Amino acid sequence: MHENLIEATGGRLLPDPLWRLLKRLLTLHPLGGCVMGASPAAGVVDHLGQTFVIPI
**Beta bridge mates, 51:** 45
CB-side neighbour CA atoms (13 Å) of 13: 9
Q: Where are the domains of the chain?
A: 1-56
Nearby residues of 56 by Cβ (< 8 Å), 6 or more positions away:
none
pLDDT of residue 49 exceeding 90, the answer is no
Please state the pTM of the whole predicted model.
Answer: 0.40
User: Counting beta carbons within 10 angstroms of the beta carbon of residue 46, is it exposed (0 to 12), middle (13 to 18) or buried (19 or more)?
Assistant: middle
pLDDT top residue among 15 and 4: 4
**Beta bridge mates, 45:** 36, 51
Q: Band of the pLDDT at 46, cuts 50, 70, 90?
A: very high
In this predicted model, what pLDDT tens digit does every residue of 5-44 receive, in sequence order?
889 999 988 877 777 788 776 676 665 678 899 999 999 9
The SS3 call for residue 51 is strand
